[in-house]
Amino acid sequence: MTTPVQPRLAAPAVFLAGIVALLALSAVHLLQGTSSLGLGELLRAVLPGGDGNARSQAVAVLVASRIPRLAAALLVGLALGFAGCVLQSVARNPLTSPDTLAVNAGAYVSVVGVAAFGVSLPFYANGVVAFVGGLAAAGIVLLVARSSSGGPARLVLAGSAIALALNALTSVLLMLFQERTAGLFGWGSGTTVQSGLRQVSLAAPVIAVGIAATLLLAHRLDVLGLGDDHARVLGIDVRRTRTFAVIVAVLLSAVAVTVAGPIGFVGLCAPVIARLVAARVPGLGKHPLLLPLAGLTGALVVVAADVLLRALVPGDLAISVPTGVVTTLAGAVVLVWLARRQPSGTLSTRGTHGTVRSRRWVAVTGLVLAVALAGAFVAALLLGDRVVLLGDVVNWLRGVSGTEVTFALDLRWPRVLAALLGGAALAVAGSLVQAICRNPLAEPSLLGVTPGASVGAISVVLLLPGIGIWPMMAAATVAAFATFALVHRLATGRGAGGRGLSSDRLVLVGIGVSAAAMAITTLVVVLGSPWNAHLALTWLAGSTYGRDFAQVVPVLLVLVVALPLALSGARTLDLVSLDEDVPRVLGVPLDRSRLAFASLAALLTAAAACAVGALGFVGLVAPHAARALVGSQHSRSLPVAALLGAVLVTVADTLGRTVLAPTQIAAGLVTALIGAPYFGWLLWRSRGTA
C-alpha cells in the first residue's frame, strides 16, 4: 500500500538525515576545544538563567572561537560542495574539482603574493585577488587540457602540473618573505580556525549570491548533461552557460579560500558522494536537488573532518593542524577510488618515440651537451652573491686563494655538484618512469615517488634533528619505494577497471597518493617541528641551500651504480615501453622488469631528494627533450637525458643564486617556470589523440 509513496519521500528523507547528522556533528564540534566546556555549560550559555559569571565565560568561549570555527566550516563546505558539483557537471568529468582545476592553488598564490609584498587588503579586495588568481589558473588548465578524447585523466594531469608550478611559486614567496607571510604555511592546507565572526559574516552574502546563481543554472546543467548538440537544439547557449557556471564556481571557491585557505578535495568528495546517493534515490539526480545535496555533503565533510581532527589530536595542537590535511587525505582516497574505476587506456602515446637519428648526430649532440654542462658548471662556480674570477678558482684549487674567495667557493662547490648530480638522477628516473608508464607526460613528482621520498626525509630531519645523511637517505628511499609500490598496486590490483596496467589509471592514482603524501608532510611539520617550517619549505621548493659534500655522496654513488644498470637494460626498457604483448612474446618477464626499473627510479629519486629536495619537472622535461634530440632508444636517450637534467638544474640553481643576489631563489621555482609551460605545450600538442 505504501510503495507508491516511498519514492516521493525518499529525497526529503535524505535531506532530513543529512541535516540531522550535520546538527549532531555541529553539537559535538561546539563541545571540542582547548577550554573545558561541557554540555551543561553549553546549554546554560544558550538558555536564559543560571550563574551569570559562568554563563558569560561560556558565551565568551563560544562567540570568540567555537561558533566562528563552526560557521566557517559550514560555510566553506557549502560553497565548495556547490562549486565542485557545478564544475563536474560542466566538464562532464567526475574528477573535476577546484583542486584538480588548480583553482585553489591559483587563489592561494594570489593571496600569498599580496601578503608577501606587504599589502594589507580588506576582505572583499582579498577575495577579488583570490578570485582573479583562481580564474586565471582554471582558464590555463582548461585551455591546455581541451580535447574531445583525452579522457578524465587529461584534465587532472593539466591541473596537477599547473598546481605544482603555482605551489612552487608559493613556497618561494613564503621563503623569501618569512616575516610578512608568517603563519601562511599551515593556512595553505586550509584551516577553519577564526578569530571572531567578521570574515564569516562578510563571506556569507557573497556565497549566498553564488549559490543562488548556481540554482538558477540548475535546469541548464541538466540539459548540458544530454550533450552539446541536444542542448543547442533545446535553445541553450552552451559556451555562455559553461563560462558563467565556471565563473560562479571559481567565485565560490575563491571566497572559501579567503575565509579558510585552500581546504583540499572537499569540492571533489562532496559531489561524488552526492551523486552516489542520488543514483540510488529517485529524483535526486536533477540539479535543483543535486546541487543542494552536494552543498550539504560538503558541509558534512568539513565539519566531520574538524571533529575527527580535534578528537585525534590534543586540543592545544589541534589549533595549529590544518583541517585541510584530513579532507585532503579523504579526497585522495576518493580520487584513487575513482581512478580505479576508469577503463584501461592511455592519455597519449604521441611523442614517446623520437625521430631516428644517425650515430654522428648522437655523438655531436652528446659532445655539445657535455661542453654545455662544463660551461654551466664553471659559470655556477663563478657566479652568485659574490662574483669570482676563473683565476680565483685556479688559486682555490691550488690552496692559495684569499679568505673571501675560499669562503665563497667552499660554500658554492658542493651546491653546484648537488645541482649537477641531482638533476642527472631526476632525469634518469623520469626516463624510467615514462618508459614504465608508456606515457611521456609522467614523472616522479606526479606518480608520488618524489612526495613519498619527501615524507621520509622530512620526517627524519624534523623529528630526529642532527641525524646523518645516510639515515635520511635510507628513510627517503624506503618511503619512495613504498609510495610507488602502493601506486602500482592500486593501479593494477583487483578492483581496478580493465585488464593490466593502464597508463592513465597509474597517473591518476599517483596524483591521489601524491596529494596524500603532501598532506602527511604538512602534518609532520606542524605537529613535529612547527618552528622549522622554513626548513621544510626549502626542501619542498627544491633547493641546494646549505648543502655540503656529505649530502652529495649518496646521489653520486647511486648515479654511478644506477646509470650503468639502466643502460645495460636499455633493450629491455625499449620493449617494456612498447606495449603489454610484445615483451611477453619475446620472452621478457614484463612484471619483474617493470618492478626492477621502478625500484631503480625510486632509488634515484630518493638520492636526488637528499641533494636538491623535492625538485619538480626535471623528470618530465629532460627525458622528453632527449627523445626529441636522439630518438627513443634508451641506450641513447638515457645519457642525453642525464646531461640535459644536469644542465637544467645547474643553470636553474645559478639563476636562483644570482638574479636577486644576495636573496636566493629556490632552483625548483626556475624548473617549474620552465617545466609547467613545457608540460602545457605537450598536452596541447597531444590534444585529440587517444
- CA 525-529-534 angle, to 5 degrees, is 70
Residue 45 placed within a domain: no
Q: Residue 232, by phi and psi: left (phi above 0), alpha (psi -120 to 50) or beta?
A: alpha
Q: Please report the pLDDT score of residue 316 as a whole number.
A: 66
446 and 594 both lie in a single domain: yes
pLDDT at 1 over 70: no
Tell me which residue range forms the domain holding 482: 366-685
Report the percent of the chain where pLDDT is more than 90.
19
- Rounded Cα distance, 95 and 335, in Å: 7
- Rounded Cα distance, 190 and 657, in Å: 32
Residue 321 placed within a domain: no
One-letter amino acid for residue 98 of the chain: P
Question: b/e per residue, 424-458, with b = 16+ CB within 10 A?
Answer: bbbbbbbbbbbbbbbbbbbbbbbbbbbbbbbbbbb
The last residue of a domain, from among 291, 314, 337: 314
159 Cβ contact list (under 8 Å, min separation 6): 99, 100, 101, 102, 141, 145
- Rounded Cα distance, 627 and 355, in Å: 8
Mean pLDDT value across residues 168-193:
74
- Rounded Cα distance, 438 and 382, in Å: 40
Q: Please report the pLDDT score of residue 348 as a whole number.
A: 45
The last residue of a domain, from among 314, 329, 354: 314
- Rounded Cα distance, 329 and 235, in Å: 42
239 and 107 both lie in a single domain: yes
- Rounded Cα distance, 222 and 227, in Å: 10
The grid coordinates of residue 541 equal 621548493
**Cα-based torsion angle of the residue sequence 367, 370, 372, 376 in order, rounded to the nearest 10 degrees:** -170
Task: Label residue 507 by pLDDT band (50, 70, 90).
Answer: confident
670 Cβ contact list (under 8 Å, min separation 6): 651, 652, 653, 655, 656
Residue 510 placed within a domain: yes
Taking alpha carbons only, the member of 481, 472, 482, 478 closest to residue 554 is: 472
412 and 268 both lie in a single domain: no
Task: Label residue 147 by pLDDT band (50, 70, 90).
Answer: very low
276 and 400 both lie in a single domain: no
300 and 426 both lie in a single domain: no
Q: Tell me the pLDDT tens digit for each residue of 560-585.
A: 999 999 999 888 888 887 776 777 77
Mean pLDDT value across residues 534-543:
72
CB 44 within 8 A of CB 55: yes
Q: Please report the pLDDT score of residue 207 as a whole number.
A: 94
Task: Label residue 214 by pLDDT band (50, 70, 90).
Answer: very high
Neighbours of 273 (CB within 10 A): 18
Highest mean pLDDT, choosing among 8-17, 426-435, 573-582, 587-596: 426-435
Mean pLDDT value across residues 415-424:
92
pLDDT at 296 over 90: yes
485 and 628 both lie in a single domain: yes
201 and 263 both lie in a single domain: yes
146 Cβ contact list (under 8 Å, min separation 6): 684, 687
The grid coordinates of residue 39 equal 554540555
Mean pLDDT value across residues 475-503:
73
Q: Tell me the pLDDT tens digit for each residue of 97-137.
A: 888 888 888 988 888 888 887 777 888 888 898 899 989 98
Average pLDDT, the chain: 81
pLDDT at 414 over 70: yes
pLDDT at 77 over 90: yes
307 and 370 both lie in a single domain: no
- Report residue 137 CA to chain centroid gap: 14
Lowest mean pLDDT among 418-427, 525-534, 555-564, 591-600: 525-534
370 and 442 both lie in a single domain: yes
- Rounded Cα distance, 391 and 410, in Å: 16
Residue 335 placed within a domain: no
Q: Please report the pLDDT score of residue 5 as a whole number.
A: 42
Domain count of the chain? 2
Q: Please report the pLDDT score of residue 338 as a whole number.
A: 83
Residue 354 placed within a domain: no
Taking alpha carbons only, the member of 210, 300, 306 closest to residue 260 is: 306
pTM for the structure as a whole: 0.80
Q: Please report the pLDDT score of residue 44 as a whole number.
A: 57
The grid coordinates of residue 647 equal 644542465
- Rounded Cα distance, 386 and 409, in Å: 10
Q: Tell me the pLDDT tens digit for each residue of 333-349.
A: 888 888 877 665 544 44
Element containing residue 332 per DSSP (H, E): helix 323-340
- Rounded Cα distance, 329 and 326, in Å: 5
- Rounded Cα distance, 324 and 187, in Å: 9
3-state secondary structure of 194: coil
Highest mean pLDDT, choosing among 35-39, 427-431, 476-480, 482-486: 427-431
3-state secondary structure of 415: helix
Q: Please report the pLDDT score of residue 48 as a whole number.
A: 57
One-letter amino acid for residue 130 of the chain: A
Taking alpha carbons only, the member of 93, 18, 3 closest to residue 278 is: 18
Lowest mean pLDDT among 143-152, 322-331, 399-408, 471-480: 143-152
pLDDT at 425 over 90: yes
Mean pLDDT value across residues 621-648:
90
Residue 18 placed within a domain: no
Residue 323 placed within a domain: no
The grid coordinates of residue 17 equal 538525515
Residue 564 placed within a domain: yes
373 and 469 both lie in a single domain: yes
What is the sign of the dihedral through the CA atoms of 170, 175, 179 and 184?
positive
Alpha helices, DSSP H, located in 580-688: 581-585, 590-612, 618-630, 634-658, 667-685
Residue 356, φ and ψ in degrees, nearest 5: -70, 130
The last residue of a domain, from among 279, 314, 349: 314
425 and 564 both lie in a single domain: yes
DSSP string across 565-603 = HHHHTHHHHHHHTT-SHHHHHTT--HHHHHHHHHHHHHH
Q: Please report the pLDDT score of residue 38 as a whole number.
A: 56
3-state secondary structure of 552: helix
Lowest mean pLDDT among 181-195, 463-477, 622-636: 181-195
Mean pLDDT value across residues 353-359:
66
Q: Please report the pLDDT score of residue 3 as a whole number.
A: 46
- 207: domain CATH number is 1.10.3470.10
pLDDT at 516 over 80: yes
Q: Please report the pLDDT score of residue 350 as a whole number.
A: 44
194 and 105 both lie in a single domain: yes
Taking alpha carbons only, the member of 441, 517, 461 closest to residue 484 is: 517
Q: 123-144 vs 238-260: helix axis angle to the nearest 10? A: 130
One-letter amino acid for residue 191 of the chain: T
Task: Label residue 271 by pLDDT band (50, 70, 90).
Answer: very high
Mean pLDDT value across residues 79-100:
88
User: Which has the higher per-residue pLDDT, 540 or 23?
Assistant: 23
Mean pLDDT value across residues 648-659:
87
Q: Please report the pLDDT score of residue 315 as a whole number.
A: 64
E-strand ranges in 388-458 read none
